[in-house]
Structure 1
């Protein structure tokens, strides 16, 4: 037998409208009444039809979370579970559900987002990446649909709400740190130039070199594509240069772990022969061998603040665009050593 709202009201000795207000968590209803109604709902096995309620309210109480590739590949990178932790915490507190994207390619992601928006399956969208010339972001702008971005937008950043670290500044600082340790041959490893975060970090790296009077050497750049194809061979090519690097700035801790492993196979010791600094400060970083010097970018806070901004845009559509900069912390461990002259 299907339990209705009227059955709950009769059993709890309240009006059906009171049950509706309890479901909506209305402040007009006392906590004592809410407790009694919820106990009856549980006793009778009554589950509110939130889909019908959303249609009536023209709201889904759901947030679309869009990853740069399929969930399968994204979750292999600890960044995404961690940023989702921040999103989930905030969404739950504000009674929003989460709708995860499943697209694997840029085209599939675009098709999925357009379907979400046109079908009104979500109230707003969080993009967990910022891609160069991203048509998904352009579509969200053109349709004036509520969205926020984790990362600095490639274009129109003054008109888009986004949450990010100051990637240019922090990469300049970590590169400067290596320079102050006496390193002048410093490579930049990993990251796709399709994404703004890589470009910003590369620019910070170049700024530090320029200020120190060190020429930029394109041979010291190893892109993500080469690492994916064969990380070990890419590193071998780098270390076979006439003047091989004595330090690496890596895009994230996962790439740093891979580099440390390959260097070990090549009998190159970290930090005695080469220093490594990275980003994300994953849980394993302090337990790696050697413990990894890394920048804590406060991943969960990125997600939490992006969700706050999105909910504000959903509930107050006239909210002006804003940039939220999340502070970072440099965690110095044992993967860097002063260069002996």
Structure 2
């Protein structure tokens, strides 16, 4: 803050009753500090709002860590592309890590992160608990969350997309084509973006005076397999839907496959809409109508925000939602006047 003296390692050391090298070891994630001393120093670092020395603005920014919970989807490449572009502008390098868990970085990983003095961390698709948030702050590691799975804690910088509006727009498109039996395949029920897309779907139906049928709403994991499995369930209903809104493009591709297996033509017998607008959606057959989520732009902005925080800047606003847009292609059309249930 302007006019506020910057807290020093020496002051933290004096208040904690330890040496300055010990404080430095805590800041840098070194292991040779007792747990009690580490807790005492971390508490003082938080209380004083200690900010580690920022990278000089005249030289390269250093390292940006891009952290994924999983790396199983092509959408990760779009995020990597955006982060790399922002890092290149700042003459920084990208380090990609996969945690194989949605619970956020663990203590050991955070220690290693602090030891290599990263200039910023982009956390993609993880649940960041208050405890992990405190651990990142106590090590003075600037971070931004992209597409958070849960509600970000107050003060946490995050970048997402207008998922509710995207769900509303996709469903409204199908309603305007004349569909009334519209299936919905979402992601995990406890993931923020999935809930928002389903809520947008519900809102569009309710606004149009169409009853929401719980049997038409299923939860998956955003991957092809869940699109296939839940598409099979929906298309096996006695009164099957004439359209399916999938919570991701990958799930939509799974619906394509099960429709083909059942002898249904897209969009003649079944309209399908996805979410993401991955490059694959343009080359699918038929090309996929989808909601464009600006993944590259999200990662670009998050990286810029993290670099700004590392320089002592405070991003405003701290929570950003970029707009989604409906991209109409050939997988959606008015429903046929009649259809016959085709079984596998």
TM-score normalised by length of structure 1: 0.73
Change (3 A) 1:137 1:220: farther
Alpha-carbon distance in 2 for matches of 1:111, 1:232: 38
Alpha-carbon distance in 2 for matches of 1:60, 1:120: 13
* Contact 1:147–1:310, Cα closer than 8 Å, also in 2: yes
- Aligned: 1:87 with 2:83: yes
From 208, 215, 219, the equivalent of 1:212 is: 208
Alpha-carbon distance in 2 for matches of 1:151, 1:84: 14
- Aligned: 1:149 with 2:150: no
Change (3 A) 1:90 1:180: same
Unpaired runs of 5+ in structure 1?
1-53
What is the match of residue 67 of structure 2? Answer: 66
Unpaired runs of 5+ in structure 2?
1-54, 338-344
What is the match of residue 324 of structure 2? Answer: 328
* Contact 2:224–2:253, Cα closer than 8 Å, also in 1: no
What is the match of residue 21 of structure 1? Answer: none
TM-score normalised by length of structure 2: 0.72
Change (3 A) 1:154 1:177: same
Matches within 5 A, 1:272-283: 272-283=268-279
Alpha-carbon distance in 2 for matches of 1:317, 1:292: 41
Change (3 A) 1:64 1:125: same
From 271, 296, 299, the equivalent of 1:300 is: 296
From 120, 123, 133, the equivalent of 1:124 is: 120
* Contact 2:223–2:248, Cα closer than 8 Å, also in 1: no
* Contact 2:281–2:288, Cα closer than 8 Å, also in 1: yes
When you count helix as a share of all residues, which structure comes out higher?
1
* Contact 2:82–2:299, Cα closer than 8 Å, also in 1: yes
Change (3 A) 1:132 1:60: closer
From 235, 248, 253, the equivalent of 2:244 is: 248
Matches within 5 A, 1:153-232: 154-156=150-152, 159-224=155-220, 232=228
Deviation at 1:143, TM superposition (A): 5.9
What is the match of residue 16 of structure 2? Answer: none
- Aligned positions, number: 282
Change (3 A) 1:320 1:97: same
